[in-house]
Amino acid sequence: MTSVDMSSVVIILVAAAVFLALIVWFTVDVRHVKKWTGISFLIAIAGGLIIYGAIDADQFKDMPVIAVLRTVVHVGRMFGNAGDGSHDAFVGIVGDSIFTSMFYWLVHFFAYYSVVSALVLAIGKDIVKIFRTWLLRFRDIELIYGINDDSIRLGETLARNRRISLVFVGTGSVPDSLVNRTGALVYDDPEAMNAGPSFLKRMSVKKGTGKIRISALSMDDEANYSYAVRMRSSLKETDISPSNTELVMFARAASLGTELQNFEDNYGYGSVKVFDRRELASRLLFREHPIADVITFDDKGRAMDDAHILMVGFGNIGQEMLRRIVALGQFEGSTLHVHIFDPAIDKIDGYFKARYPGLLDNYDISFKAADARSSIYTEYVREEAENLKYIIIATGNESVGNEIAYGTIDILASCGIYLPVYQCYYDKIIRNHYKDECIVTKVIDDEILYGTKLDAISKEINHFYYGEGDADEQWKRCDYFSRMSCNASADYLLGLMNRLGLMPASTKSEKLLAGSSSIKLNESEDESIPSKFMESGDELLAYKTSNCEISNTISDIISGEFLENLAKSEHLRWMGFHYSMGYQPMTKKQIDERVRLYQKDSSVRILKDVEHKRHGCLVPWDDLDELSDFENSYTGKNVDYKQMDRENVKAVCKIISQMIDKNAT
């Protein structure tokens, strides 16, 4: 091949690359295309005036008016032709060099660019969609099922933070402005809505391609689950590796994630995060505003006052809040009192009482069938103003919630009490305080749904339970009860450690936990694990740390009477969590029956009946020694339940402390 031919090939290839780059630019980043269309238009106008002004001024020196008119016409024509006919005339006037030629063609290039981009923006939606669909094969796909304000906002955030192809599936409307800013594709046809294999083919999803993350975020939890199941079947049929798939989903129960997770012979998504909106909202409330923050403690870690909590509304969110209150509101030296107002309480409390009988039988929880705008409520607030520690509004209606929140604040202020009031909804937490700015915490947030911060401590607790292995993989395979148990332990002790000053005062620990790596403590293996500590991460962790060497600053601080009070608080928390999960104490008859079963089968746990949700350790702290001796008399082991609570506190506090130290450096 001659040098001339080689030069031609190079020119053709470079020109093709530039042309392809323009196509990609026009179809992907429409927001910046709009901006650069205007800029290129101005550059073309300015450059055209220079080029054609020079040419016409030279040719019509004696007729300046004609020169001006011809210049205007020529600049206009520049946007519709290649400019070949005027190049020689221009360089003949200003001088023939590489710089003058480059200037001439760059000006015409900007004219061409502005015209084509304007046409694409004006009439090329179908063309743009075709090219964006073609580009799906080159980028990871972020598919969002369900079009609503929250999912649209999340999609825009995801597209801004990562170079991905954004796809919306749903019957809602996505604003053109967002489509233009993000380069999103929107589908509402039956093929897309059914998540069939043909839809994956349309998106160029096939074996060996990039990753796809499904976010099922519609307001219909059942529809989210159905879509995730259908998509899983299509991914399996298309032979997509689970490692290239992720699922983020809102569902009626977070436990549904287990069946959608890839595990051994069960094909599923490589990564699964399922959220119950009620659980998520309640967890975020007490993570951001722990009950421990409103309790006074002495220098030995013992609470000095009771936790009086007022709640308005007992619908889905209110019921979830009550479960979380009981699980996280237990402190040695303090008694929990919860008073709930709801005018329809007699009509909506049935399922809750049936599911959690032990919760209502063992704690001071009272209900009042009255509206929070009634005189019954206002009189209660006045009478209890000095005792109240925490107020939650969970009406489900923001207009009503605002009225009650500010009304309650006014009544408290008239009594000289200035407590914040927390409004809780599926999508946000609102903190109202006397004369303070309203603070809104978004529940549906990209860091919460897609990040690692929320469950970072829980994951490490679970990892310690497993020992060797990858913490992320272990967390994926963690069953629902164990995951909830780890979360409860982490959230409780994180709030308590902050309150007791066991972490730097300037540290907002939640912000330091993202992207944490595994923390290991020295452990000794023992296959003899007593029944109380066999169900979940925080329980088994207590057993495994009983023979561990835990010695650093935090462990030195937590000792003596301080440790004893924290251990008693931990036992109260452990009981509160189990009651909130539907467990009840074992009767003597039930324990005797479990002993008989154990004597026939040593794998039976004497003090724990998972099937019937009964636990023999749901007893006061002072009864644990007798319970330990009783179990040891049959198993021959050396169980000490009090010591296990002590070790659990030290271990979890150490994990939290190490994670914060590691991420602060």
Both 574 and 597 in one domain: the answer is yes
Q: Is residue 195 part of a domain?
A: yes
Domain boundary among 415, 438, 461: 438
Both 476 and 356 in one domain: the answer is no
Over residues 435-440, mean pLDDT? 90
Coil vs helix vs strand at 291: helix
Both 166 and 263 in one domain: the answer is yes
The predicted-structure confidence for 458-504, as pLDDT tens digits, reads as follows: 888 888 777 778 888 888 778 788 888 888 998 998 899 989 988 75
Domain boundary among 91, 123, 155: 123
pLDDT of 4 > 90? The answer is no
Both 92 and 169 in one domain: the answer is no
Question: How many domains does the structure of the chain reveal?
Answer: 4
Burial of 196 (0-12, 13-18, 19+ CB in 10 A): middle
The predicted-structure confidence for 63-120, as pLDDT tens digits, reads as follows: 888 878 887 877 777 776 666 677 777 877 878 888 888 888 777 777 776 776 666 6
Kind and range of the H or E element at 88?
Answer: helix 87-94
Both 407 and 487 in one domain: the answer is no
Both 103 and 236 in one domain: the answer is no
The CA distance from 290 to 283, in Å, is 10
The CA distance from 184 to 141, in Å, is 10
The predicted-structure confidence for 352-396, as pLDDT tens digits, reads as follows: 999 999 999 999 999 999 999 999 999 999 999 999 999 999 999
Q: Is residue 10 part of a domain?
A: no
List Cα–Cα distances, 277 to 403, 441, 515, in angstroms: 24, 14, 24
Q: Is residue 444 part of a domain?
A: no
Both 195 and 166 in one domain: the answer is yes
Both 248 and 157 in one domain: the answer is yes
Q: Which residue has the higher pLDDT, 79 or 616?
A: 616
Domain of residue 175 covers 134-275
Evaluated on CA atoms 590, 595, 601, 605, the torsion sign reads positive
* HSE-CB of 141 using CA atoms within 13 angstroms: 30
Q: Is residue 6 part of a domain?
A: no
Which pLDDT value is given to residue 25? 53
- Beta strands 614-615 and 608-609, pairing class: antiparallel
Give percent of the chain above pLDDT 70.
81
pLDDT of 341 > 70? The answer is yes
pLDDT of 535 > 60? The answer is no
Q: Is residue 173 part of a domain?
A: yes
Q: Which residue has the higher pLDDT, 580 or 657?
A: 580
Return the CATH number at 211: 3.40.50.720
Q: Which residue, 653, 658, 646, 483, is CA-closest to 577?
A: 483
Both 566 and 623 in one domain: the answer is yes
Both 375 and 496 in one domain: the answer is no
Checking phi first, is residue 613 left (phi over 0); if not, alpha (psi -120 to 50) or beta? left
Q: Is residue 129 part of a domain?
A: no
CA-CA-CA-CA dihedral for 29, 31, 249, 222, to nearest 10: -110
Both 520 and 650 in one domain: the answer is yes
Both 54 and 147 in one domain: the answer is no
Q: Is residue 495 part of a domain?
A: yes
Alpha helices in 559-665, H assignment, sequence order:
560-580, 588-600, 624-635, 641-664
First and final C-alpha spacing in the chain: 61
Which pLDDT value is given to residue 178? 78
Tell me the whole-structure pTM to 2 decimals: 0.76
Alpha helices in 419-534, H assignment, sequence order:
446-450, 456-466, 471-476, 480-499
Q: Which residue has the higher pLDDT, 587 or 77?
A: 587
The predicted-structure confidence for 17-30, as pLDDT tens digits, reads as follows: 655 555 555 555 55
Over residues 186-200, mean pLDDT? 93
Q: Is residue 281 part of a domain?
A: no
Burial of 635 (0-12, 13-18, 19+ CB in 10 A): middle
Domain boundary among 250, 275, 300: 275
